[in-house]
Every structure is written in C-alpha cells, then in structure tokens.
Structure 1
Amino acid sequence: MRTDRPGYQYRDNRDGTRAHYWNPKRAVKGSPAALSAIRLDDGLTDDEIAAECQRRTNELKAELVKRESSPEFDGTIKSLITCFRNDKTSTLHSVKHSTRIRDYEPSLRVLEKNVGKRRVDALRASDFREWFTQWKKKGHRRASGAIKLLRLVISYGAGERFHGCAQARLILSDMRFEQPAPRTVAMTYDQCLAIVKKSAELKCPSIGFVEAVKFETALRRIDVIGEWAPPPGGGEFRWTGLMAKDISKDMVLTLKTSKTGAAVARDLSSYTLVAEAMKAYRIPDIGPVVIDEDHGRPYWENRYAEKFRKVRDAAGVPSSVWSMDSRAGAVSETIEATGSIEAAQELATHTTTKMTKRYSRGDGLETSRKVAEARAKSRT
C-alpha cells in the first residue's frame, strides 16, 4: 500500500478511465465532518497525484492546528470568517448540512479568497459595490451568494461586538444589490421521458426513476434520494431518507418533507412516467429506495448531479435544463392542466401561492384560455 498519497482514493468509470480524488477524512484523522472529497484533475501522472495529495494534506493539517486554539478576531474579514466557522452558536451551525455545503461554504471561500485580507473597520459602501460588480462577472448568483454571506458574517461580528462590524453592518443594511433573474426553465414531460428511457439504456435506471418521481410528485430531490450528513454532535456521516417501508404494496408513497415537515402521500401507480421508469428500475424490498448502481449504496448529492448530467446530455435534453427543474415542470404542468394554482401549491407543498408562482414557468396562455372558456359557459 502506498503511503506517499495521503487521502487518495479513486473510482473506475464505465468507459475504463479512472477518476482520482483526495479525501480529507482519509488524509487526516479528526478532519471536520463538513469536508468532502475533492476530485483531482484528469491526466495527472502518479507523481503529480502524490504531490497534490501531499500538498492538500499539509494545508489541511496546518489549518487544523490553527483551529485547535480559539480563533481571535484580528480585524480582517478572513479572521471574522474563521470565528464564524468555529463558533458553535453562529448561524453556520444551525442550518442543514446540505445547505451549509451547497450555499454557505462556496460563498465563504469566495470571500476568503478575494477580500479576506481587508480590514472590516476600513470598509466603505464603494468597496461593497466594487466587489459585487467584480463577482458578478463570474456569475450573478455567485455575486448574490457572496453578498448574502458577507451580510451574515458581518452581522455575526456585530453581535459579538467585534471592532468595526457594527458600522460595516449599518452601511450594508442601507445597500441594495441587483438580484439574479429567476430561472425560467422547466423540465417538460417529453424531456423527462427522454431521460427516463436513456437512463435505462445507459444501465443507470435510478436516474430515470428519481426524475420521474420528482416530475410526477413535485417532491424535492433530497426527499427522493435522501441525504448523507454528520449527526448533530459530529462524527461519521449517516444517511437518512426515503425507505422501502415508506412505499406500500399498492405503491402509495408517504413521507414528511425535509424542508417543511409537511405530510405527503402520493400514489405512484397512477403516474405514467414512474411506470415507464420501473420497467428498468426495481425498488428494493428493504432499505433505501434509491441506490447508486456504481456504488451499491444511496447517492451523495454531487454524484447524483454528475450522473444526471451525463444522462441528460446523452438524451439530447438541453444543458440549460437542470435536475431541479423537474419540480418546476410539475408545478407548471399542473397549473396548465387544471387552471388552479391552489392545486399546484398543494402538490408542491408550498406554504404560500407566492412561492408556487415562482415555480410556474408558463406564460399563462393555456390557463387564460381555460378561464375564458369557463367564463363564456357561465354566461350561457
């Protein structure tokens, strides 16, 4: 066994190539549970892989040494972020693990890399505007996410009475930044059907099954594939999610949604896309409902997204269609078919119709036609 590649692991692809990863938990004992494996660049030689694993491991060890002592605020944004990360009372530790990894950490890394050395007590409104403009060049959502986390971190500092944070928070509170345009893409029935069929051809029918269930039921992906996350007190990652026992013999699915805790019941036998998907996918008799064929266990979020993109592209579905758009497709199709936003709201388990309208991607033409037809009938 080689010892010059700490944290190294690999995965063989179906095409015979090999994907290389550096896993911080394998590299350094006691690594934070929030850290996940990082894929290394393709085409690296064995020596380059070893050097990269050693570099990342040494950086992680140095970072952990810093974290062992209680961090002190030295006036910079970077040290403020360090305090925010290490303080168990900060909002970073109250959000779901998936939210932290997907939304918080990427934005915190943007802040550390780009403005971490700046002193909080010297910040001006012009600094915030300039940063937003620069970040926006690399993506509007990236810029908005960074500003959102900057507000959170500075508010945390103000609450802890760190020097300069209260004034910076006051400046930011009076500022408004252009929000990214809402998504206008919704997966269509034909696109979902193409994905279902192509996933069967590519021997990964779990993708088609998940997308079919999401499109027909309007459930969130996490409610279908489940989630790997550390327990509240820390430790090894554990999986929670949809189990075989949650689907009855007559194919009625029951669960409580992960976001709002709303009770949901869906008759899977009544959905044509689910029926098509189950020509190739078999629900296990016990345990998790959705299993990654490549690993024989439930999906990690990033692995599902990666495999979905491969199936989508092979199915000829535009790259602008994301997995999350199946939920928007369910809402839009429901409104078009029924003319009732309340029906779509109930299907999507939204607490308000305002949220449902955000998921509706249609222009309202078909709905307006149905309304006009109903009004005409009422006049006779």
Structure 2
Amino acid sequence: MAYKEALWDGSDPSYAPGAARSGRWLYWKPPAKYKKMGYTKTSERLPGELGDGRDLDRARRCRELTREMLAFFGVNIDTYDVGTWGWLVDRYINDKHSPIRDVKANTREGYLWVLQRWTAAIGTVSIAQTDYVMICELRDGMKAKGRNEAYISRMFDRLRAVAKYGKLIKHAPAREVSEILSDMRFQSAPRRSVTPTREQIRAIIEEADARGLESFATGLMIQWVFCLRSVDVRGQWLECDPNAGGIVRKRERSRQNRGKPEVYERWQDGLTWDMVDEELTYFEKVISKTAKAMPDPIRFDMTDAAELRQRLTALAARGRIGPVIRSEKTGMPYTRYGWSQVFRRLRDSLGLPKELTVMDTRAGALTEAKNMGVAPFDLRDAGQHLEVSTTDRYARGRNEAIAKVVKLRNL
C-alpha cells in the first residue's frame, strides 16, 4: 500500500489514511495485510462525530496512528512496501537487534554489497510470492549471466540470512522462504588449489624493490614469513564517525555517489610501530579476525629473520610513528584494493600465473610448512586459527601429500 507524502509532511491536512465510518462515529483501522503480519492494534475510535467540524483533528490522528503502525514494522515507507524483500532487507540492515550487527565491520561491508544487489533485483517482490520455483529461476538466471558458483553461493547465503531474520521477527512469509532455502543446496565454490611458491614470492619482492616499493616488499615478506593475512599487515579502512580518533580520511566518491553525504573512514587492524620492539627482534599483535576469541597479542619472533629486520630498519629511518607499511605513492596506509592491485601488476610483469593472488600468500606459506612436516597443531598456531580444521582449508598441496604417502608405502 502506497501512502501519500502528506502522511509525513502534512501537506494535505484532510488526508485521513485508515479512516472508516460506523453510524455517526469514525474509526481508524489498520489495513488487513498489516494485521495479518502481526500488528496487534485493531482500531481506535476517533474524536467527535460526523458533522461536528473536527474533520482535520480526526485526519491528523489517522496520520499519527498510521505512522505508529509503520514504525512497528521498522519500514522505510518512502521506498519499500511492507512485506517486500526491500522492506525486509532494509529492516535487517537497520534493526539494532539484527544479527548483522554482530559481525566485524569489514565483513558487514561485504554483506551490504550483496544485499544491495538483492534489493536491486527483487526489492519490490512480495516475500509471500517467493516460492521454490522463483528461487530456482533466480539461481538459473545468475548462471545464464555467467555468474560462477562462488558468486551464486555468496548471494544465496545472504538471502538465507535475511529470510531467517524475517523468521525471527515472526514474519510468516519469510519463515516459509527460510524453510525452503534451508532444504535447498547451492553448489559451493571449489577450494582454491593455487599456492605461490617461495621462489615466486621472492621474485615479486625483488620486483617491488626494483620499482622503489620497499614498503610493499617488506609487507609481503612479513605476510610470507609469519603466515599473516594482508589485513594484519597493511590494515584496512572502515567507515567511521568523522570525529573518530586515529587516522581518518574522507572516502573517495564514485560518480554515482556524488551529491550524497560525505563518508569517513578510519584506518585500523594493521601493524604499527608501537607493536615492534626497539631492537626489531619481535612484534606483538592481536589478530583481527580472531580478536574476540583470542584477545591477547601474539608475539612474532624476528631474531632469525635477518633480511626482514634489515628491511624494517630501513623503514624505521623514515620515522617510527603510526603504520609500519605505507604506500610510497600516497604516504598513507594501503587500501585493500590498492594492495591487491600492486601485487597483480608485479605478478603480471613477471609473467607469473594470473591465478595467483595476494590472498594466496598465506596459504602458500602454510602449505610450505605442511610439506616440511610441521605438526598439525603447530601449523594451527602458526596460522593463528582456533581449529586444525580451519588451517587444513588453507594448507593445500594435496598432490605433494599423496606423493609422500606413495613413497613411504613403497620403501
């Protein structure tokens, strides 16, 4: 049901949504579909009676009661009708009790990217009209557009989460969709099998040195030596309040975001000089991904990493304040995309396989350690994981493991 702008701005004082007559009396009544979705208030008798000259008072009260009803559903009525996917996604994002509030900011950013695409695709579609056939058609439509299994799985993971949220707030149609999705299986993306070798990482580091990218080269070496994620070395920029402390900047605006309010970002999670001891023999850092479960800093010993210490000594000469790794071009910490872009350019200039990504660096380091015979629990700790099963997803080299077993059995 679409309401007039007068519901919000009072531009039509006589607008009385929900008004109904019974004899000489007038009542406000919520539409049937809102009652069906769980709105408990059934009706309210409006002041006065017909012909008493208080029509505008009654109209104002009708608008007040209608706005209260819409607020109950947490809906942005300017854009979405209650009961559509756009409404449920909007509430899932903005409800202070929503499960999306419990995830890390960078994870939430990825979720929002997916939810924006769902809203664009099915935002006006009624949840009650969404059935098994429609879901299959959505999936098949993605395949027809050339979307890979990873993309499709990611999209439906979020749709499943939104439907489950609808179930939590007792929206009956969402409960039905949630049950349908729970019984469906979407092909997961195959595990990546590509891992960079020590020689390939060395080649990229040397190419970075040749181009004057000593900070990037040092950061990549830290990733390789200590099996760290990129975010725990270069850090990340996350949306924040403009008055937040630390290193804050305005987000660069894309063409489609021009005219919208400024967005500010704060740098966090990266390696800073206060984490590194004066003699450059170790650094201590809380791992960003497991910070809640493992809040204590982990010490990374550098006494046997002579080359890395030399590189850090050179960087320290620029000043031991703030982020250790900074872009030579901007003097600021790298963005996620900037870091990946530099890796790709160096990789391509060396003619290395395009399948290699900077994300694989950590997997390559763990795989090398696994192939050298490092015990599973030691490997787990080196990867800063809580479970061995998690490390197993990163440590690849299945072919080498099979070859090792064959050799041992045939001695």
TM-score bin, normalised by smaller chain: 0.7 to 0.9
| Cα pair 1:204 1:293 within 8 Å, conserved | yes
Superposed CA deviations along residues 197-226 of structure 1, whole A, max 9, x for unmatched, are: 111122222222221111110111111112
Which range is displaced more, 86-95 or 137-146?
86-95
TM-aligned CA deviation for residue 135 of structure 1: 2.2
Q: How does 1:43-122 map to 2 (within 5 A)?
A: 73-101=81-109, 103-122=110-129
Match of 2:370 among 335, 340, 350: 335
What aligned pairs does 1:217-366 form with structure 2 within 5 A after superposition? Answer: 217-231=226-240, 236-240=264-268, 241-248=270-277, 249-261=279-291, 263-271=297-305, 274=308, 284-363=319-398, 365=400
Which stretch shifts more, 353-362 or 228-237? 228-237
CA distance in 1: counterparts of 2:131 and 2:401, whole angstroms: 50
Q: Which residue of 1 aligns with 2:213?
A: 204
* 1:66-86 Cα deviation digits (max 9, x unpaired): x98797652221222122222
Report how far residue 104 of structure 1 moved: 0.5
Instruction: State the structure with more CA Rg.
Output: 2
SS of 1:338's equivalent in the other structure is coil
Give the Cα–Cα distance (whole angstroms) in 1 for the partners of residues 406 and 313 of structure 2: 38
C-alpha separation in 2, matches of 1:273 and 1:324: 23
Contact 1:339 1:367 (8 Å CA) reproduced: no
1:179-190 superposed matches below 5 A = 179-190=188-199
For 1:185, the aligned partner's letter is: V
Q: Normalized against structure 1, the TM-score is what?
A: 0.73
- The answer as to whether partners of 2:76 and 2:90 remain within 8 angstroms in 1 is no
2:203 to 191, 194, 200: 194
Partner of 1:49: none
CA, structure 1 residues 174+374, in 2 after alignment: closer, same or farther (shift >3 Å)? closer
Name structure 1 gaps, 5 residues minimum: 1-66
**Whole-Å separation in 1 of the counterparts to 2:374 and 2:406:** 7
Amino acid at match of 1:324: M
By how many angstroms is 1:336 displaced? 0.8
Query: Does the 8 Å CA contact 2:80/2:87 hold for their aligned counterparts?
Result: yes
CA contact 1:75–1:121 (8 Å) conserved in 2:
yes
Instruction: Report the residue type matching 2:276 in the other structure.
Output: I
State the partner residue of 1:145.
154
Opposite residue 299 of structure 2, the aligned amino acid is A
Residue 284 of structure 2 aligns to a residue whose secondary structure is strand
How far apart in 1 are the matches of 2:378 and 2:343? Answer: 29
Structure 2: how far apart are the matches of 1:304 and 1:191? 17
State the one-letter code of the partner of 1:296.
G
The one-letter amino acid of 2:297's match is: A
Q: Is the 8 A contact 2:367 2:396 kept in 1?
A: yes
CA shift at 1:130, angstroms? 2.4
After superposing on structure 2, the runs of 4+ consecutive aligned residues of structure 1 that deviate more than 3 Å are 67-73, 230-236, 271-284, 364-376
Deviation at 1:167? Answer: 1.2
1:195 shift after superposition: 1.0
User: Aligned match of 1:129 in 131, 136, 154?
Assistant: 136
Using structure 2 for the length normalisation, give the TM-score. Answer: 0.68
On the 8 A contact 2:80/2:86 being kept in 1, the answer is no
The one-character-per-residue Cα deviations of 1:101-145 (angstroms, maximum 9, x if unpaired) are: 2x2122112212222232110111122222223324312111111
